[in-house]
Structure 1
Amino acid sequence: MRFLTALSIAVLSWEASASPVVEKRQAAQRITINPARTYQEIDGFGFSAAFQRANLIINLPAPKQKQVLDLLFNTQNGTGFSILRNGIGSTPNSNSDYMNTILPRNPGSPNAAPQYVWDRKDSGQLWLSQQAVSYGVSTIYANAWSAPGFMKNNNNDMNGGSLCGVTGVTCSSGDWKQAYANYLVQYIKFYAQENVTVTHLAFLNEPDLTTSYASMRSNGQQATDFLKVLNPTLKEAGLGDVQIACCEGTGWNSGNQLIQEISRAGGDSLYHLATAHTYTSDFNGPLQTTKKFWQSEYSDLSSSNPWTTSWTDGLKWAGILHRAMTVGRMNGYLWWEGVQWPNPNTNEKLILIDGQNFTVAKRLWAFAGYSRYIRPGAYRIDATGGNLQTSAYLNKDGTIVVVILNTGNNAANVQLAGITAASAESYVTDNTRDMGSQAVTVASDGSVSGAVPARSLVTFRITV
């Protein structure tokens, strides 16, 4: 009866229409997915909360704190980030937004017994790491911006300077390479005491740049000098599984330069992961290495681009992520600060926290289009056809994720062929939706069809 009533209404409505409107539909673009052709393995997507940014989340009221954590780590309704990058402090105090060191006092010489101090906070990063682990995050990346100042030739953890004892750096206080390696090992052990496993370790950050905050200069030869000490020190401490990352150059070009310098110095076998930023030079292909590599920090730091929550900005970052995965063939992609206060009024954060309130930028949802369902251990697989920006991934659990970016002003329909789907889901992010569920069709031949609205990012999650 309900069907007949609805049918009668539909007929009457059609008869009453003087000029029926026929919806114009585009023919579906056919995109062929080939799981047998694989590219890079995906370690994950992530962010940092270094320089006391983690405290912004800690200081929120409990309900909002949970909301922010869900936005960052939840794989059901958030971004599902899978890598957390922590800063290893080097400053004797926590003034301004400095990250305090675990060795605030100079022991007097490289061989003197250090008096480590563990505050069980680590600028809020320990708590955030514990929360991340509770969400299932298993990649904790500890990254030092500098050694403590007394280990350097400028006697300051800021304003550049270099580690005493590396090539070309002689200090009256002696050679501090082993002491610095021991220092990094102790940091990892402190986290282990708190049931957080540090999986990746870097001893440099932007070593080609001198800054007024924590910074330390190094070239590839000097990095190799330290790697020759750090690598065996980790193994002797029972931490041989920790992946050493190097060297966080400010740009893709400087990252490649450091990689080549390390290779010439004989240091290739001493580290596991190549890392670089893209501030001073963008990527136009993979880093020149046979190792896995991450774009380990980037954001929009320009003061000429004030804070925005617009999808225009989100769409831009969706395009950057697409290129990172396809052109750059990156194994991991990390944003700079996950959270930040209002000042500076820039777009270096994904979530702006102002006291007891927070605002989410649309670029967070651009990341969600990739990171929520492309899980660590996935492989990018072949996706061809159509005129949209498409990439596809095969997860360890057998699910296939297809991410499609439409930057044009016209909607498109797509048919995903080459697979035999049992079921599928589709999620769209655009000007009004944030990973909103939308209709998807699985045909009898196992192909998947769905819409890709204008100026949108659509993620298909397919069970085969």
Structure 2
Amino acid sequence: MTKMILIALCLATSCFFLNSCSNSNDEGGDTRVTPAKVFTIDTSIKYQTITGFGGANRMWTSENLSTSEVQNIFGTADTELGLTIFRERIPPVQADWTIMLPTLKAVQAKGIKILASPWSPPANLKSNNDLVGGHLLPENYEAYKNHLNDYISFMANNGVTIYAISIQNEPDIQVSYESCDWTATQMADYIKAYGSQINAKIVAPESFKFDQSYVNALFNDTEVINNLDIVGGHIYGSGLDFISKAEQNDKEIWMTEYLLNLNTGNAGAPAWSLYGEDIIWNETLTMLETIHKAMDFNWNAYIWWYIKRYYSFIGDGTQGTESGKILKRGYAFSHFSKYVRPGYVRVQVNNEDNVDLKVTAYESNTEIVIEILNTSSLNTDKVQFKVPSMSSAMAYQSTLEKNREPIALTTNTDNVQFSFVPKKSITTVIVKK
């Protein structure tokens, strides 16, 4: 018989146990208990295997991460964030490759997967002989393959393994900074000719909005398909959806860049430090919702933009942040990065009462992790989760007032239930088998 785990959460003066949450009729004094809304975790229905959750740093003028920052970001202790993927830029000029080494070596020592993305090939290989815009000349395709392999070899010789390498960051948008334009046909031709000769997993196309037509163009040729390992893309403006061609061809799907910063990067915008914590938290919930959707669309990895920035996971010393200190957004992201580990498999969640909560669940050999996101302005009362088996359970919660704080639980062999899920919150439940 399927076990049900009962988790009772109490906030402030709210009731903790269900039997103390009854409704009374003033005239007759009768007592009624409102039935809990039920979610059932069905581990027999499995979806994608999780590769990890990560972020980027050490771009252009951004500084190397310190030893303590690397520990806080990639460690898994109680106060740490548990990221498992690190994205970095491939400088087009070889003399700059050594600049990356301190951070990459520290990240490598933590066993983290490294994704390297080029913003531009060397200028002399391009149509305009410039690092901004232009396109890679077909006669220089082999030279660019050598450039990427030289980078991989340089890092390997310095103790750093490049797990995956992108062909081009955002090939489908014209910008005024380091960049290179690629049509989908050019990208497919390049991967067909040289993808098998590059000494790391190949990520493409890294479209700025995960353009499905661009992605689909890479799946029209068997040789391109065989040479492509990971379908990667960004979600600026759009792109959160099923990537059916990738799934049909058994390719991993990675979201490799996204940021939200209340548009403070735009000219004339108010400074980040002028916004209240409630406004920042609302935007953080938007970030969490994109993670939830990415997982629900069977994506394997989610990689944020800068790890160390005033709007990100640890402060950079600007906009009122303390350099190196973990920020609320970091704790929020870590509900996924710390608890949903590489190799976990997403499993089915049946929302039996059509409750307006966003829930995903993940299974390993030893536990089931449930992520519960409530983006509404209302608490959701009496929510119950059924799971196949349980020896113990624990939960952590972030709200406007809390940063991934442990929540007291009551469990028995029959069920687990929240007295309520707070408004604008994320809660992680870890069920030990």
Normalised by the length of structure 2, the TM-score is 0.81
Secondary structure, counterpart of 1:181 in structure 2: helix
1:129-144 superposed matches below 5 A: 129-137=104-112, 139-144=113-118
1:459 aligns with 2:428: yes
- 1:39 aligns to what? 47
Deviations 1:128-160 (A, max 9, x none): 2222233332x11011111000000100111x1
Say which of 334, 357, 361 aligns to 1:392. 361
Q: Is residue 333 of structure 1 aligned with residue 302 of structure 2? A: yes
How far off is 1:183 after superposition? 1.0
Matched, 1:272 2:229: yes
Instruction: For 2:395 and 2:219, locate their aligned partners in 1 and report how far apart those are by CA, in whole Å.
Output: 45
Q: SS of the residue aligned with 1:157?
A: coil
Q: Which structure has the larger Rg over C-alpha atoms? A: 1
> Any conservation in 2 of the 1:425–1:462 contact (CA below 8 Å)?
yes
- Counterparts of 1:343-358 in structure 2, within 5 Å, are 347=311, 349-354=312-317, 357-358=323-324
Local SS of the residue matching 2:290: helix
Query: In structure 1, what is the equivalent of residue 338 of structure 2?
Result: 372
**Unpaired runs of at least 5, structure 1:** 1-21, 59-64, 91-100, 103-116, 166-174
Q: Bigger relative contact order, structure 1 or 2, given CA contacts below 8 A and separation 6+?
A: 2
1:295 aligns with 2:255: yes
Q: Matched residues in 2 for 1:412 and 1:131: separation?
A: 45
1:76-115 aligned within 5 A: 76=77, 77-90=79-92, 101-102=93-94
Residues 1:247 and 2:225 aligned together: no
What does residue 370 of structure 2 align with?
402
Match of 1:75, as an amino acid?
T
Asked whether the equivalents of residues 372 and 428 of structure 2 are also in contact (C-alpha less than 8 Å), the reply is yes
1:224 counterpart = 2:188: yes
Q: CA RMSD in A?
A: 2.4
C-alpha distance in structure 2 between counterparts of 1:305 and 1:371, whole Å: 30
Q: Does 2:135 match 1:162?
A: yes
Q: Deviations over 1:69-112 (max 9, x none)?
A: 3442122222211110111011xxxxxxxxxx21xxxxxxxxxx
Q: Distance in 1 between matches of 2:104 and 2:422?
A: 37
Question: What's the CA shift for 1:179?
Answer: 1.1
Aligned-partner SS, 2:102: helix
Q: What is the CA–CA distance in structure 1 between the aligned matches of 2:57 and 2:96, rounded to whole Å?
A: 19
TM-score (norm 1): 0.76
CA displacement at 1:202 relative to structure 2: 0.6
Deviation (angstroms), 1:265: 5.0
**Structure 2 spans left out of the alignment, 5+ residues:** 1-19, 23-32
Counterpart contact for 1:440–1:449, Cα < 8 Å: no
Structure 1 contact 220–265 (Cα < 8 Å) conserved: no
Query: What does the per-residue CA deviation read over 1:357-403, in whole Å, with 9 as the maximum and x for residues that have no partner?
Result: 356543322211111111111111011125121110012x4311000
> Aligned equivalents of 1:187 and 1:27: distance in 2?
60
Question: 1:53 Cα deviation (Å)?
Answer: 5.9
Does the 8 A contact of 1:40 with 1:331 survive in 2?
Answer: yes
**Contact 1:389–1:406, Cα closer than 8 Å, also in 2:** yes
Contact 1:426 1:450 in 2 (8 A): no
- In structure 1, distance between residues paired with 2:411 and 2:401: 26
Identity percentage over the alignment? 27
Instruction: Pick closer, same or farther for the CA change 1:152–1:119 going to 2, 3 Å.
Output: closer
Alignment partners' CA distance in 2, 1:391 and 1:183: 41
How many residues align? The count is 381
In 1, are the aligned partners of 2:131 and 2:180 still within 8 Å (CA)? yes
1:220 deviates by: 1.8
Answer with 378-387 or 409-418: which moved more: 409-418
| DSSP-derived class of the 1:133 partner | helix
